[in-house]
Structure 1
Amino acid sequence: MSPRDLLRNPCWQGEDLGHPLPDSTHAVSVALPRWRDVIAYEDNDPQCRSQLRAFYPRFALHPLVAEVARKALAMLPAGMASAGSSAWPYPNRAAAQLAQDHCHGVAPHASTQIVDQLGLAVLIANAEASPHAKAFWQHAGLGASSRRAAIGLSKEAAPAAGSADQAQALVIERLASIYRCDTQQLSLHPSGMAALHTALQLVTAMRPGRPTLQIGFPYVDVLKLPQVVFAGSELLLETSNAAVEAALDRIDPAAVIVELPSNPLLQCVDLATLARLAHARGIPVIADDTIGSCLNIDPLPYADLIFSSLTKSFAGRGDVLSGSLVVSPWSPWEQTFRDQRSITGFVALGDADVIALEQGSRDVQARVPQLNRHAQALAARLSNHPAVARVYYPDQCANFHSLLRPGAGHGCLLSFELKGGSDQAQAVYDALSVCKGPSLGTPFTLVCPYVLLAHYDELAWAEDCGVPAHLLRVSVGLEQPEELWQRFERALSR
C-alpha cells in the first residue's frame, strides 16, 4: 500500500485523528484535525492519546522507542523496577549519563540506573526521578531516534558500512556551502535542541555558573533547556537598546539567545546591534535560524554560535529528527569554542538518521525558494481577507531584511489572527482542508493552534506577552498556491 499523498489528500477531518504526518514510520508530527482534538491531546485524554500513531519525538516516546523502554523495564530483576519507574532509551552511555547526572543534580536521593538494551543505553528512573528524566528528554533532545530503535528491535536493517560516513560528509558539505563556512565549523546532532545543548555546554565552560538571557518571545524549549538543565535563563521581551544594555549589565549572562525570527510572531531582533552590545561586554550570542532558514538569512557575521533544527525546512520530509551547530568564523571565541567542542564531545546524529537527512536535503536549494514564494503569496492573500485581523510574516520586519541573503525569501512560516477571536479560529481550524498538527517545513501545508500546543499551561502568560491562544500558525507547503488559497478561502467563509 503506497503512502498517503498529503498534498492532495490531507489529514484534516475527525477520522484522521492520530494519523502520522507524513505517512511514515518515522513521522515527527501527528494529525490533530479538530480544535477539540488539540484540547484533548493537551489534557492527556486517554481516548485521544490512544488513537495517536505518532508523536513529536521530544514530547513523547515514539512507539518503537517506547517498545525498547518496555523491554528494558521487563528485563530488570524482580524488585528493581518500583512502581512509577520509567525508562528512557538513549543512543549511547554518554547521552544516558548526561540524563542521569541531571536527575541526580535535581533529585539527589532519587534512584536511577543505566542498562543496555537492544544496542541502546536506557536510563531507568524511579518515581522520584521520572519527572526529571522526562524533562531532560524533552528539553535536551538527546534521546534515541525511532530509526535507532527500529534497528535494535530488528525491524529495520542497519546501514551498510561506510554509507553513513559518506552521507554525513555530504550533509556537512551541503551546509558549509549554504553558510559559506569551512566544514570544520559545523557539527550534526540528534535534534535542534541537542545542538543548543552543545552550544550551552560551550558557553558554560567559558562562563561557568552564569544564566543565559533570551530576547524575544521564546520557543518553549529554547527557554526551558537553559532554565531546567543549565544555570537558568531570563526572558527579555523589550528589545530596545536601553532595555538590552540594562539586562546585560544586570545579569552578565553566559550568553544571549535569539531566534531568527521568533516563533510564532515571526519578529527579528536587530542582531548586528545586539552582537555589538553583547561582545563589548565579553558575552557571546547564540542564534536559532531554524525558521528563517540558513538559505534565506546569514547571521554568521554577528552570532557566535548558530543552531538549527534540520528536521524542518532543510530535511523537508518531516520524518527525521536532526540538528546542526555552526561555530562562526567571525566569532572572537571561535578557537575557544572549537577546542572546547573537541574536549567536551557531543552526541552524534545516528547513522540511519544522517542517511535520511542527506536524502531529504538533496533538493533543499530548489525547495526552500519555492516554499518562500508560496508562503509570501498566502500571507498577502490572508492580509487582504476581511475575516483576518492580522498576519505575522517576516516580510514586514526590517531587522529580518538586514540579514537576508541576496535574492532570498522570508521562510515557509506565517501566523494569523481572526477578527472573530477564539470562536472563529476554532471554526476555521476545523474547516481547513490541510494537514493539521505540530512541526513545520514539510512539503505539505501544516496548520496548528501553536500557542495551545506550546504554552497550554501558561496561556495567560502568553496572552500578556501579546501572543493569543487563538492564533493559527501555518507552515506553507508545496501545494499550488491558487489551489491552497481556495482551501483557506472556503474555511474563512464559514
Structure 2
Amino acid sequence: MLSYEVGESVPPHTAHALSVSLPTWKANVGYEEGEDWVLSKMKTGYPRFFIHKTIEAFAEAIVQRHGTPTEEAFLFPSHAVSARCVQFLRDQIPSLPARSVRIVDLYPNAALPNSAGNSNGTFTKPIISAILFPRDHAKVAKTFWQHSGDGISSRRAEYCHKAFIDGRLASKQVSCEKINGPGFVSPSKGPRRYQKRDSLELSSHKTIDVTGGFEGEDSVQFVEERFGRNLDLSLAAKAKLAIRRRIAGALTANVDLHEALQMPKPPTRKAQVEGFSEDDVYLHPCGMSSIFNTHRTMMACRGPRKSISYGQELLISLEDCSNLTGYSFPYIDTLKVLEKWGPGCLFYGHGSSADLDDLERRCEAGEKYLALFCEFPGNPLLISPDLCRIRSLADRYDFAVVVDETIGNFINVNVLPYADVVVSSLTKVFTGECNVMGGSFVLNPRSRYYAELKEVMEQDYEDNYWPEDAIYMERNSRDFISRIDRINRNAEGICDKLKAAPIVKEVYYPKYSATRKFYDQYRNAGKGYGGLLSVTFRTTEQAVTFFDKLETAKGPSLGTNFTLSSPYVILAHYGELEWTAQFGVEADLIRISVGLEDSADLVSRIERALVAASKTAGV
C-alpha cells in the first residue's frame, strides 16, 4: 500500500517538493486545529503558504547581519516587488512608522574578480531584495507574499544564501520614504522588454538581468538534485524561450533543448487568434504571480476600477482564513488580490447564468468594471463558465476578460479567442513533477486593450523567474502533450468507476457537469476533460473511510504526474463549513488529481477504497 508519513515532502525526499503528506482525514483535521503531532512533523508545504526552510534560513541570516532581534525579513526577487510589499504594509497598518521598514538590496559583489558591474562599480539590479520590519507585523507581510506570489523560490534562496555566506553578495540599504502613497499601483518604469528582436537574443538578455552579473563565473553551476549533474546557467535563456514556444504551441516535440530550438516553428496552437506568437507569452515565478501582475497591469493600463470574480474561488472566507499556525492552504487568493489592490470586487460565487443576468443589469445601470476573472473550469466543482456570453458582455460594456486555464489546460481547451489575457499556473500539470514553480501570462493580440497592455508590459515587466527554476520547468514540460492525453484517459476511467458506486453521491467532472456544453464549445478536437475531479459520498463516515483507504499520495496541489488526493474543504475552509455549503460545496468533498499510473491499477485502488467505505455505518 502506498503510504507517506505525516509531514513528509511530496514527492518524498525531494529538496524542493511543492506538497506535503497529510495521509489521513485525522491528519488534515489535526493540521487545521494546530495539533503538534502534525505541525511538528511538517518538512515542507505548498510554497506560497508555507515558507520553505531554505528561504526561512536565508531571511534569518539577513536579519542577523542587517537587522535587530525584534525584526523579521521577507525576501523578494527585485526592488520593485519589495517596494510593493512596503506599500502594502503601509496601507494595511497606517500607524506603522515609515522608518521602521527598510529595504536591503543584495547585489553581486563588485569588489570580486569577474563581477559584471557598470562603469562606476555598482550594479543596476539586485539579485535579492529584502524588506526588514517589526516582527509583530509578520502576518501582514505574509499576506502579501501569499496573495502576490512574488516571493523568491527555494532554489533562488539556496543559491543566494551560499553566495551571501561566501561574500559574493554586497548589500545596499535603500530608503522607503519615496515610495508612493496609498494604493500604489503605478508601473515601475523599468527597462523595456519584449521589443521585436530575435527571441533567443531577448531571452538571453532577460537572464542576464535576473542574475545581476553572476554570468561568467565558474561557480555559476546548479547541481541537479536527482543525479548530481551540473546545470549551467547559460541554459536558462534557451529554457525560457522553449517554455514560451511550448505555451504558444510552436514547440510540441519531446526533444532535448538544443534540438528543440533548432526545429522549424509550426503554426501556433492558438492559430485562430491572428497575430499570436511567443512574444505575447510572459513568464512569472508562479501562477498567482501571473494573476496578481495581470490585475496590476490592467489597473496601470485602464485605471483603478472594480473587478469581477466569477465562478472561481468558490470557497471564500469573510477574512483571510488563517488558522492558528499561519500556514493555511486556502484557495482564496484571486479574490483577495481584487479586493486589496484596487477599489474592490463584485463576487459571483455560483458562476451561474443568473449571476451574468445580474451583471448585465448592473452594467445597463451604468456600473463600470475593470475586468472579469474566471477559471475554466472552476475548482473544486469543475463548472465551466459561458465564455461566449461573458465575451459579449465585456465587448458591450467595456471590461476585460481574464481566464485562468490551469485546470482545463491549454492542450485540452482553447480559451484565448474569448479572453483578453489568459493566465496559467505552470506549477501544476505543465511541469507535473511537483518540484518547481512557474506561471504564464498570455496576451490576446486581437484584444481591444492589446496595444495599451503591451506598452505597459514593455515598460513594467520584470523577468523574475529564477534561471534554475526555468531549466527544471523546461525539461519537465517536454512530454506535456503525451502526459495530458494519458491523464485524460485515466481520469475518465476513475470517474466511470465512482459514478457506478451506490455509496457515491456525486462526481464532479467537466464531462458529467451540467455545464459540459460550455466546456465542449472550447475543447480542442480529440482532447479530453482534464485530470481533476471531486467526489462526495452518502455519509461523512464513508467519505472518511474512502479517503483513508485510498492508496494515493495525499496533500495540497494538483496536476502532478502521480495521483494526489485531498479532503479539499476540510483543508481549505475548516472553520467555515456551513458558509461553504451555501455554494453547494459539501464539507466531506474529496478532490482527486489524477496522474500517470497504469489505468487498471488506478481503478483497482479506487475499487478497494470503495469496498472499504461501503462497509462503514450508514450504508
TM-score by length of 1: 0.93
Shift of the alpha carbon at 1:347?
Answer: 4.7
Shift of the alpha carbon at 1:176?
Answer: 0.9
Matches within 5 A, 1:67-466: 67-77=57-67, 80-82=68-70, 85-110=71-96, 111-116=100-105, 119-154=127-162, 157-158=221-222, 160-177=232-249, 178-180=269-271, 181-218=276-313, 219-236=331-348, 237-240=350-353, 241-249=356-364, 251-396=367-512, 397-420=516-539, 422-466=540-584
Corresponding residue for residue 49 of structure 2: 59
SS of 2:596's partner is coil
Shift of the alpha carbon at 1:207?
Answer: 3.1
Task: Tell me, in whole angstroms, the C-alpha distance in 2 between the residues paired with 1:117 and 1:65.
Answer: 15
Answer yes or no: is the 8 Å Cα contact 2:372–2:400 preserved in 1: yes
Shift of the alpha carbon at 1:157?
Answer: 4.0
Corresponding residue for residue 45 of structure 1: 35
- Structure 1 pair 154/324, CA: closer, same or farther in 2 (3 Å)? same
> CA offsets per residue over residues 135-186 of structure 1, 9 Å max, x none?
1111110011011011123399445342110100111111111444301110
Task: Tell me, in whole angstroms, the C-alpha distance in 2 between the residues paired with 1:199 and 1:217.
Answer: 16
How many equivalent pairs are there? 478
* Alignment gaps of 5+ in structure 2: 108-126, 164-219, 223-230, 250-268, 314-330, 613-619
SS of 2:47's partner is coil
Answer yes or no: is the 8 Å Cα contact 1:179–1:294 preserved in 2: no
Q: Name the aligned partner's letter for residue 587 of structure 2.
A: A
Answer yes or no: is the 8 Å Cα contact 2:413–2:524 preserved in 1: yes
> CA offsets per residue over residues 25-83 of structure 1, 9 Å max, x none?
11110110011111122223333122111110000101111111221222235xx342x
SS of 1:253's partner is coil
> CA offsets per residue over residues 64-109 of structure 1, 9 Å max, x none?
11111221222235xx342xx4321112222222211211122133
> CA offsets per residue over residues 378-413 of structure 1, 9 Å max, x none?
111111111111000011311111110111111110
SS of 1:301's partner is helix
Task: Tell me, in whole angstroms, the C-alpha distance in 1 between the residues paired with 2:282 and 2:363.
Answer: 29
Answer yes or no: is the 8 Å Cα contact 1:300–1:330 preserved in 2: no
Shift of the alpha carbon at 1:126?
Answer: 1.6
Corresponding residue for residue 481 of structure 1: 599
- Structure 1 pair 195/417, CA: closer, same or farther in 2 (3 Å)? same
Could you tell me which of 454, 470, 479 is aligned with 2:588? 470
Task: Tell me, in whole angstroms, the C-alpha distance in 2 between the residues paired with 1:371 and 1:271.
Answer: 25
Q: Does residue 1:32 correspond to 2:22, yes or no? A: yes
Bigger drift between 150-159 and 130-139 goes to 150-159
Corresponding residue for residue 196 of structure 2: none
Shift of the alpha carbon at 1:278?
Answer: 1.4
Answer yes or no: is the 8 Å Cα contact 1:27–1:318 preserved in 2: yes
SS of 1:88's partner is strand
Shift of the alpha carbon at 1:336?
Answer: 1.2
Task: Tell me, in whole angstroms, the C-alpha distance in 2 between the residues paired with 1:188 and 1:205.
Answer: 19
Corresponding residue for residue 110 of structure 2: none
SS of 2:478's partner is helix
CA RMSD of the aligned region, Å? 1.9
SS of 2:283's partner is strand
Corresponding residue for residue 6 of structure 1: none
Answer yes or no: is the 8 Å Cα contact 2:386–2:518 preserved in 1: yes
Task: Tell me, in whole angstroms, the C-alpha distance in 2 between the residues paired with 1:171 and 1:408.
Answer: 21
Task: Tell me, in whole angstroms, the C-alpha distance in 2 between the residues paired with 1:352 and 1:391.
Answer: 39
Task: Tell me, in whole angstroms, the C-alpha distance in 2 between the residues paired with 1:46 and 1:233.
Answer: 37
Corresponding residue for residue 5 of structure 1: none
Answer yes or no: is the 8 Å Cα contact 2:382–2:509 preserved in 1: yes
> CA offsets per residue over residues 278-337 of structure 1, 9 Å max, x none?
121110001100000011111111110110000001111111110000001221111111
Shift of the alpha carbon at 1:128?
Answer: 4.8
Shift of the alpha carbon at 1:117?
Answer: 5.8
Task: Tell me, in whole angstroms, the C-alpha distance in 2 between the residues paired with 1:467 and 1:217.
Answer: 13
SS of 2:73's partner is strand
Q: Name the aligned partner's letter for residue 65 of structure 2.
A: M
SS of 1:325's partner is strand
SS of 1:129's partner is helix
Task: Tell me, in whole angstroms, the C-alpha distance in 1 between the residues paired with 2:566 and 2:572.
Answer: 10
SS of 1:154's partner is helix
Bigger drift between 340-349 and 321-330 goes to 340-349
Matches within 5 A, 1:9-24: 10-12=2-4, 16-23=5-12, 24=14
Task: Tell me, in whole angstroms, the C-alpha distance in 1 between the residues paired with 2:488 and 2:364.
Answer: 38
Larger-gyration structure (1/2) = 2
Task: Tell me, in whole angstroms, the C-alpha distance in 2 between the residues paired with 1:44 and 1:230.
Answer: 33
